[in-house]
Amino acid sequence: MTAPVPGETVQGRHGMIAERRRPRLRWPVVAGGIAAVIVIAVIVAIAVARTRSGERPPAFQASAGAFRLTAPPANLPSLDYASVPTSHGRRYLLYGDITDGGRTAKIWVSDHKRDPHAKMVSLTVGQTAVIDDVRVRVLHIWAMPDPSHNAIDVSATAG
């Protein structure tokens, strides 16, 4: 063994070598830990998204003059409608859309089920409008994670 340089000890020389190696050893461990946390977060996010995509509105509590209008299958016209008798004949309510992040419901009111001249009304929960002799009030807007499960609960009576 060589003699220590003045002001240096044998232990100090070996200690410096050991200290230089520690950061190299820690870096892969820290990087691996961060990667593991990211992978776990992605797996959890995917699992939550899949669970929520099957979420549907609760069962409809039917009452006189209350209806649930549901979203049609993608790219198809709505087949779900509510029929309201009025003094001018029947009027039909069809699901239009849910906008404003689930705060506004668009509802079509028409003289017959396939009316190209149907009138649309946009309402928020609690709002009422009279259109073509039908008084429409939005009871609840169900904006679900999967838009094909959206629904609008309305009350509709002759206006």
Three-state secondary structure along the chain? Answer: CCCCCCCCCHHHHHHHHHHHHHHHHHHHHHHHHHHHHHHHHHHHHHHHHHHHHCCCCCCCCCCCCEEEEECCCCCCCCCCEEEEEECCEEEEEEEEEEEHHHCEEEEEEECCCCCCCCEEEEEECCCEEEECCEEEEEEEEECCCCHHHCEEEEEEEEC
Q: Are residues 32 and 71 in the same domain?
A: no
Highest-confidence range of 39-43, 65-69, 121-125, by mean pLDDT?
Answer: 121-125
Q: Are residues 137 and 78 in the same domain?
A: yes
> What per-residue confidence (pLDDT) applies to 132?
82
Judge whether 85 lies within some domain.
Answer: yes
Judge whether 61 lies within some domain.
Answer: no
How many percent of the chain have pLDDT more than 90? 18
Number of domains in the chain: 2
Judge whether 97 lies within some domain.
Answer: yes
Judge whether 59 lies within some domain.
Answer: no
Q: Are residues 80 and 21 in the same domain?
A: no
- Is residue 61 scored above 90 in pLDDT? no
Q: Are residues 84 and 124 in the same domain?
A: yes
Domain that holds residue 16: 1-53
Q: Are residues 43 and 96 in the same domain?
A: no
Q: What are 85-107's pLDDT values in tens digits?
A: 888 888 888 888 888 988 999 98
Q: Are residues 40 and 116 in the same domain?
A: no
